[in-house]
Amino acid sequence: MSQPTDPAAMPGQTPDITASEEAPQEVEAKIMVASQWKLIWWKFRRHKLAMISGIIVIAIYFVAAFAEFFEVFPPDQYAARYTYAPPQTIHLIDMSDGTPRLAPYVNGYKVTIDSFSLRRTFVVDPEQKIPFRFFAKGFEYKLLGIIPWDRHLIGPVNPEDPFYLLGADALGRDLLSRMIAGGRISMSIGLLGVAISLILGILLGGLSGYYGGAVDNIIQRIIEFLRSLPTIPLWMSLAAALPITWPPLYVYFGITIILSFIGWTGLARVVRGRFLALREEDFVLAARLDGAPQIYLIMRHMVPSFLSHIIASITLAIPGMILSETALSFLGLGLRPPVVSWGVLLQDAQNIRAVSTAPWLLIPGLAVVIAVLSLNFLGDGLRDAADPYGR
């Protein structure tokens, strides 16, 4: 998309920071001495939508990091009795004995089995109350892989009780727990994929922009070639090439590498373009004439001025990765069960029969949408803020 056109901005124009009650001179003085990161932060803070999105993104990654704590049951624990059990509603206040009393519960199910189709139908049973509590004892796990614990944010008082806040899937597994577990995989694939793309992009883009000449030419031809390949068929063929016999962890890394295989070309272009533009800047020339050593010149003067742009670009690249992983897994080419990702979860909702009996199977799609939307807004805000002197 279009670059912000800074020549259009008036030279004397100063960004109006939020502290409007201060005298103009003081504001001016504050801006003059503010560091670049401070300017970016000031500008970013004005972008309300981006701020909210940033908080959501942090929350999602927080849940992903401490997934086991937020899960109610282990994501692969099945219960044949509760096939396609519908979502339960939370009641915080118990009114049964006349006086309201704070005792959170959900209603149980009455199950009838159709003698013809053998399908279970669940009816909410208002008589049956399943009390639940916060910080409940549940399955044991290791927080962050180190600290052993058995508390969970929310859970039924009696761990044997059915407790499906977002319903159950075909095997009676808790969708909420699976969605949280899936979030860890889907969100981390985005991060990891972008990290790999970034390393490749900065390395090759930087080489290309810095040396120019033959190196630049070769790298640019490679990028052009990779971009001339159609993305989706290429991803599909590469994903199909992952051996069936691979353990889930290998497949996970394999898919991530496949996704970054195309992604790095975009980042390499951004880095190269910035390098080429910066090389000609006056302040770089001034530093060079001052006799600054090359590595100092790059690290102290060039990198800080495009780092913010790079951060914005990678934020905008993560949602693309998440969407691609979801699509690949949905088609059965990406991650495979028992690994749980949002795409794998949506695979259960692939046919109309499953969706019509259990519409809640589509809820993981909502998680994808929220994650992608907030990453997009955050990235947009960062991109605008990355250029504090722009419009």
Binding site for other proteins (CB under 8 A): 1-2, 5, 8, 225, 228-230, 232-234, 236-238, 240-241, 243, 319, 323, 326-327, 330-333, 346, 349-350, 352, 355-356, 359, 362, 365, 368-369, 372-373, 376-377
- What is the nearest approach in angstroms of other proteins to the Cβ of residue 323? 6
SS3 121: strand
- What is the nearest approach in angstroms of other proteins to the Cβ of residue 340? 17
C-beta of 93 vs 241, nearer to other proteins: 241
The rounded distance, in Å, linking the Cα atoms of 265 and 107 is 53
Rounded (to 5) percent helix, strand, coil in the chain = 60, 15, 30
- What is the nearest approach in angstroms of other proteins to the Cβ of residue 357? 11
C-beta of 59 vs 95, nearer to other proteins: 59
Contact 175, 360 (CB under 8 A): yes
C-beta of 90 vs 366, nearer to other proteins: 366
- What is the nearest approach in angstroms of other proteins to the Cβ of residue 331? 6
SS3 265: helix
Contact 87, 164 (CB under 8 A): yes
C-beta of 245 vs 294, nearer to other proteins: 245
- What is the nearest approach in angstroms of other proteins to the Cβ of residue 41? 24
Contact 55, 375 (CB under 8 A): no
Contact 275, 302 (CB under 8 A): yes
Contact 301, 287 (CB under 8 A): yes
Q: Name the token pair of 267.
A: 């980042």
Beta-ladder partners of 159: none
C-beta of 317 vs 323, nearer to other proteins: 323
The rounded distance, in Å, linking the Cα atoms of 37 and 42 is 9
C-beta of 205 vs 254, nearer to other proteins: 254
- What is the nearest approach in angstroms of other proteins to the Cβ of residue 257? 13
The rounded distance, in Å, linking the Cα atoms of 391 and 385 is 10
Q: How many residues does the chain have?
A: 391
C-beta of 1 vs 80, nearer to other proteins: 1
The rounded distance, in Å, linking the Cα atoms of 298 and 67 is 40
- What is the nearest approach in angstroms of other proteins to the Cβ of residue 241? 4
